[in-house]
């Protein structure tokens, strides 16, 4: 139990579907992150939110749309995804951005048909 | 450019000591993290180094040399449960982390 909960754990969707990934942290942290983890590749940072404000968008395609309604919840809205978007999507949180340890959720395994 | 290098795979036996190296070239540096990730699970924080030297935490130690852009994670008295991926990550001056590809460690009996 890391204090960061992601749902769903697995998701299979077609390229024309719209779905959302959810992340909730119970650690009282102020920063939240979305990462993509593909086989044989490093963890790739997608988005950073600090006190609900987006502070970083790492050149992510617009078919991924993040939402952070409060410091405890983070969503990733998915629309018209491509097969290469199949990956493990990890959410993390930390007390602040910068040199603070990040606590990760178990991820959502996404498969695009 | 930004680059973090780690060996892809390592093997060791129970009770042994293993050292996982990480070299980095980044445009800024505000600390280096090591994470452990078991298959199908979340990465978990192991250690953080921002000053040169060795940080020891039980069976795990982490070393940093900023002048050489080099770190290592030392695992002592290896156990089967230590079989996992070990991720090296650099924090660049206040931004989020840049990760290496990870080193998959297999511990055999």
Chain B residues inside the 8 Å CB shell of A41: 101
What per-residue confidence (pLDDT) applies to A99? 76
**Closest-CA residue of chain B to A107:** B42
- Is the CB of residue B73 less than 8 Å from the CB of residue B20? yes
What per-residue confidence (pLDDT) applies to B95? 65
The minimum CA-CA distance between A110 and chain B, rounded to whole Å, is: 13
Lookup: tokens for B60 = 């795990």
CA angle centred on B33, ends A100 and A9, rounded to 5°: 80
More confident residue, B35 or B2: B35
Inter-chain contacts counted by CB atoms under 8 A, chains A and B:
56
Chain A residues inside the 8 Å CB shell of B30: 98-99
What is the tens place of the pLDDT at every residue in B49-85? 999 999 999 999 999 999 999 999 999 999 999 999 9
Residue contact A43–B91, C-beta within 8 A: no
Nearest-CB residue to B42 (from A56, A98, A107):
A107
What is the tens place of the pLDDT at every residue in A4-51? 999 999 999 998 889 999 999 999 999 999 999 998 888 999 999 988
């Amino acid at each position: 139990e890391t204090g960061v909960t992601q749902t769903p754990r697995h998701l299979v969707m077609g390229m024309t579907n719209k779905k959302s990934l959810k992340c909730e942290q119970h650690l009282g942290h102020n920063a939240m992150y979305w990462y993509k983890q593909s086989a044989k590749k490093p963890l790739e940072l997608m988005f950073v939110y600090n006190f609900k404000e987006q502070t970083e968008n790492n050149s992510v395609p617009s078919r991924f749309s993040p939402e952070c309604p409060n410091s405890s919840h983070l969503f990733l809205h998915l629309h018209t995804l491509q097969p290469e978007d199949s990956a493990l999507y990890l959410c993390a949180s930390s007390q602040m951005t910068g040199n603070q340890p990040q606590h990760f959720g178990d991820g959502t395994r996404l498969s695009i048909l | 450019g930004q680059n973090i290098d780690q060996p892809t795979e390592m093997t060791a036996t129970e009770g042994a000591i293993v050292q996982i190296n990480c070299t980095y070239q980044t445009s800024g540096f505000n600390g280096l993290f090591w994470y452990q990730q078991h298959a199908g699970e979340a990465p978990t924080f192991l250690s953080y180094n921002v000053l040169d030297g060795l940080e020891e935490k039980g069976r795990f130690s982490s070393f940093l040399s900023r002048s050489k852009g080099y770190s290592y994670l030392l695992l002592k008295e290896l156990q089967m449960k230590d079989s996992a991926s070990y991720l090296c990550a650099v924090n660049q001056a206040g931004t989020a982390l840049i990760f290496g590809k990870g080193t998959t460690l297999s511990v055999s009996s």
